[in-house]
Amino acid sequence: DGGITQSPKYLFRKEGQNVTLSCEQNLNHDAMYWYRQDPGQGLRLIYYSQIVNDFQKGDIAEGYSVSREKKESFPLTVTSAQKNPTAFYLCASSAYRGRAYGYTFGSGTRLTVV
């Protein structure tokens, strides 16, 4: 079955450490996105990519980095510059369906600073 796989499900980061969250899709979607979700807040866009080897900053890109070397993969690195990284991270991919982009979300990675 086609879908999006995020790993790991839970991740713990020490102070000053970089960590990478994995996102893989087999839906053949061109566009991929990373969102951050905090309690009581909506999803906020970190980075997005519409084609391979190209990506753009979202609303809260500071302290994060991404790469898009393959259509199927869009990993997110949370760097030590991100001062408050504890959150639930969601990856999504989308395809244009004539009037708007339809999204498929992964199951998320919960990152905790220890």
Q: Which residues contact 40 (CB under 8 A, 6 or more apart)?
A: none
Question: Any contact of residue 86 with another protein (CB under 8 A)?
Answer: no
User: How far apart (Å, rounded) are the C-alpha atoms in residues 26 and 65?
Assistant: 22
Q: Which stretch binds another protein (CB under 8 A): 17-25, 69-77, 79-87, 94-102?
A: 94-102
Q: Which is nearer to another protein, 37 or 65 (CB)?
A: 37
The distance of closest approach from Cβ of residue 16 to another protein in the complex, given in angstroms and rounded to an integer, is 27
Closest by CA position to 108, among listed 26, 22, 41, 32: 22
Instruction: Please state whether beta strands 87-96 and 109-113 pair in parallel, antiparallel, or not at all (unpaired).
Output: antiparallel
Q: Which stretch binds another protein (CB under 8 A): 15-23, 60-68, 72-80, 106-114?
A: 106-114
Among 22, 50, 79, 80, binds another protein (CB under 8 A): 50
Question: Any contact of residue 104 with another protein (CB under 8 A)?
Answer: yes
Q: Contacts with another protein: how many residues (CB under 8 A)?
A: 31
Partners of 20 in the beta sheet?
A: 77
Partners of 11 in the beta sheet?
A: 111
Question: Any contact of residue 12 with another protein (CB under 8 A)?
Answer: no
